[in-house]
Structure 1
Amino acid sequence: MSDDLEPMTPTEGVEAFLAHRKPSVAESTYYNNQTTLEQFTAWCSDNEIDNLNDLSGRDLALFVAHRREKVKPITLQKNLSAIREFLSWAADIEAVPEGLNEKVHAPVVPDGSESRSIKLERPRAEKILEYLDRYEYASRDHVIMAILWRTGMRLSALRSIDLDDLEGDQFAIYLKHRPETDTPLKNKDRSERWVFLGPEWYSVVSEYIKVNRIETTDDYGREPLLTTKQGRISGGSIRNTVYRCCQPCFVADCPHDRDPETCEAVGAASVPSKCPSTRSPHAIRRGAITGHLLEDVPPEIVSDRMDVSLDVLYQHYDARQPDEKMEQRRKFLEGF
């Protein structure tokens, strides 16, 4: 235990955190946090952890394993988000070591496990891209949103792109599995492929490289497309960009009648994912796949382009409504 920490029991810490949170979050968020953290304090009690100062990364790994046996991976990911927030707050009041929240590792969620109803709709995607085109042209945010929507690629694939992977003559990007240098692809070598971006969006990428890209290399000497001052962009930074750009108030008025001055999802200390109407990178992927299908792109082509099997595509990504599917079939059946 560090001499810099102040003793606090898990129950005392959770009660203080919830009291701190209650005025600033929606009622549903508060009660979800309360339920998750009560489960955490119960686990601490069962394992004779009576001082938050003593919590370690190993303890947190054991808690994650304990919860994994009881809930689905997607639920566990949401639960662990609340645990991370609690530990971050606890570090600020010197109840746990700094950075302990970063040792809470969630399991990988199965491909497509979110509800098929959760997707970025085409009209919203177009408004976001129109806004970025007008006010933040060729910014890193513009490139992130344009590539994700246009290609439907996974976050990990986007993060993996190097400058050498761009093919200007073909307006395309090559995705390569490079686990040895920290950019693996979901399906390993089977995920490697050329992805057509098109001249319009490729020009956005080209302008970003010329004007706004931070010139740097990553820890392995590679030249990433998407960079920060520290090197290759992290998955968390991409995710936060998506959450922020997909907030309705990014391009229009808030549909939840929230005050921007007090909303937890906007501002300098914001957590964009807390906006009820924002969307994740996975929701963009689902929206892009559904959009391709609605444009009559054959499912086999979509499968190859988006690196998803037909079975998984139909089960988890095809969010077309029954009447939309019927209308598409009708186009092919006219004259019969």
Structure 2
Amino acid sequence: MSSKDDDPNDRRVGSDPNRSNNTRGDPRSTNLKPISPAEAVEWYLHRRRNELASSSLKTHRSSLRHFTKWTEQVGIENLNELDGRAIQRYLTWRAEEAPTSVDHLAPKSEKTQIDITRKFVEYCETIDAVRVGLHEQILPFRVKEADEVRDEMLDMGRISEIHNYLETYHYASRDHIIWTLLAESGFRIGALRSLDVQDFDPDNRTLRLRYRPESETSLKNDRGSERLVGLIRDGTVEALQAYIDDQRVSATDEYGREPLLTTRNGRVARSTIRKSVYRWSCPQALGDECDHDDSMTSSDAWRCGNNACPHMVRAGVITYLLREDVPIDYVSDRCDVSPSVIRTHYDGRSESERMEARSQAIAEQLAN
């Protein structure tokens, strides 16, 4: 019978810093230098600041914030104390106890946390904070193909229903423009937030996305995400112009730029865009029944558990384009996502729908 000390989920951590530091035979493993977990995290983030896109750096910062919180809870003040069992206890805690909105991290999210932890520990080896080779004890997390595919998306029919409602009852409002551009282009919220008034060209019916990290509007793939997006849908240009002329809060950001989407404080925050999607995708927002808390009003429907997140809108738009037989390379360019990622994460078509699309494309090529 194994003792409680053998339980990998037991979060008690020994206080002997030499307990696991002399097992690899590397001379550096016996010459560790004390450093607090929080300081090591800051060193790591500073080291990676020019290697990672700003969105990725934020993900690393958020992940490692959980790590420092855990070390505080279990009493690790010196990172030299970290060993394989401690890391396993942390990763178990991160997956099962730390999440606040779900009972357990989804497989893809858990993989992200493990990968970041592994990178961090590997860096810590180079600054003599943990023993050499410790990162190798963090085994790669394999995600099943079924878990790779995100089957959650907002159907284009529902997206259109919400958009039409806003166009009818809240024309040229900020929420109307957010939903118009999401439905039109499948933008990520970072791209939508980055737009300036000057990026809109009504004469040529386009929006230009630019990578401007120096003024805090990065894009997912840095300069690789810069592109000119055509506004195809009838009414989009007119709604945008009406919003700019009549509804947009006149404001500049702290860099002197004129954001397209504004609040009284300047450029909209990402959370403002998310709340717009959460609020209007709640069934109650359009007058339908919803089983959320009876005390919830339409103004705080963004808290509803039956709503959609921006990523689900993006997935719905991409799937709609594929179902309409738009070539995957065109969808890739328009929505700034590689064909392989589209196939794995965004393609919500059924197996038979994909087969029919392939057959039709082959038949058309053979006919030519």
Normalising by structure 1, report the TM-score: 0.66
Residue in 2 that maps onto 1:248: 283
Residue in 2 that maps onto 1:46: 74
CA distance in 1, matches of 2:183, 2:256: 29
Alpha carbons 1:122, 1:287 under 8 Å: kept: yes
Residue in 1 that maps onto 2:208: 174
Cα 1:68–1:81, aligned 2, differ >3 Å: closer, same or farther?
A: farther
Residue in 2 that maps onto 1:237: 272
CA distance in 1, matches of 2:97, 2:265: 27
Residue in 2 that maps onto 1:209: 244
Cα 1:300–1:246, aligned 2, differ >3 Å: closer, same or farther?
A: same
Q: Map 1:177-326 onto structure 2 (within 5 A).
A: 177-198=211-232, 199-256=234-291, 258=292, 260=294, 262-263=295-296, 266=297, 270=300, 272=302, 274-326=303-355
SS in 2 for 1:173: strand
Alpha carbons 1:161, 1:224 under 8 Å: kept: yes
Aligned: 1:79 with 2:107: no
Cα 1:124–1:189, aligned 2, differ >3 Å: closer, same or farther?
A: same
Residue in 2 that maps onto 1:130: 164
Q: Give runs of ≥4 in structure 1 deviating > 4 Å.
A: 39-45, 66-69, 75-78
CA distance in 2, matches of 1:305, 1:158: 13
Alpha carbons 2:282, 2:301 under 8 Å: kept: no
CA distance in 2, matches of 1:277, 1:232: 28
Alpha carbons 2:274, 2:309 under 8 Å: kept: yes
Cα 1:79–1:132, aligned 2, differ >3 Å: closer, same or farther?
A: same
Cα 1:309–1:42, aligned 2, differ >3 Å: closer, same or farther?
A: closer
Aligned: 1:153 with 2:187: yes
SS in 1 for 2:357: helix
Number of equivalent positions: 251
Aligned: 1:142 with 2:170: no
Alpha carbons 1:115, 1:316 under 8 Å: kept: yes
Cα 1:252–1:322, aligned 2, differ >3 Å: closer, same or farther?
A: farther
CA distance in 1, matches of 2:76, 2:97: 25
Q: Which runs of 5+ in 2 are unaligned?
A: 1-66, 78-86, 103-111, 117-146
Cα 1:126–1:77, aligned 2, differ >3 Å: closer, same or farther?
A: farther
Q: Map 1:114-125 onto structure 2 (within 5 A).
A: 116-125=150-159
Alpha carbons 2:225, 2:336 under 8 Å: kept: yes
CA distance in 2, matches of 1:314, 1:76: 30
User: Aligned partner of 1:219: which letter?
Assistant: E
Measured after TM superposition, the shift of residue 126 of structure 1 is: 1.0
Residue in 2 that maps onto 1:70: 91
Alpha carbons 1:67, 1:76 under 8 Å: kept: no
SS in 1 for 2:229: strand
User: Aligned partner of 1:318: which letter?
Assistant: D
Measured after TM superposition, the shift of residue 323 of structure 1 is: 2.2
CA distance in 2, matches of 1:77, 1:284: 29
CA distance in 2, matches of 1:152, 1:72: 35
Alpha carbons 2:205, 2:231 under 8 Å: kept: yes
Measured after TM superposition, the shift of residue 284 of structure 1 is: 0.8
Q: Which has the larger radius of gyration?
A: 2
What is the alpha-carbon root mean square deviation over aligned residues?
Answer: 3.6
Q: Per-residue CA shift, 1:267-294, capped at 9, x if unaligned?
A: 55x362x423211111111111111111
CA distance in 2, matches of 1:207, 1:163: 12
User: Aligned partner of 2:91: which letter?
Assistant: K
CA distance in 2, matches of 1:131, 1:147: 15
Aligned: 1:329 with 2:358: yes
Residue in 2 that maps onto 1:20: none
Alpha carbons 1:68, 1:76 under 8 Å: kept: no
Alpha carbons 2:279, 2:298 under 8 Å: kept: no
Residue in 1 that maps onto 2:126: none
Alpha carbons 2:70, 2:90 under 8 Å: kept: no
Q: Per-residue CA shift, 1:70-94, capped at 9, x if unaligned?
A: 2799x69982568xxxxxxxxxxxx
CA distance in 2, matches of 1:77, 1:171: 49
Report the identity percentage.
37
Measured after TM superposition, the shift of residue 42 of structure 1 is: 8.1
User: Aligned partner of 1:324: which letter?
Assistant: E
CA distance in 2, matches of 1:72, 1:190: 36
Q: Per-residue CA shift, 1:192-219, capped at 9, x if unaligned?
A: 0001112421111111111100001001
CA distance in 1, matches of 2:195, 2:298: 30
Q: Per-residue CA shift, 1:209-243, capped at 9, x if unaligned?
A: 11100001001000000000000000011111111
CA distance in 1, matches of 2:89, 2:237: 42
Normalising by structure 2, report the TM-score: 0.60
SS in 2 for 1:276: coil
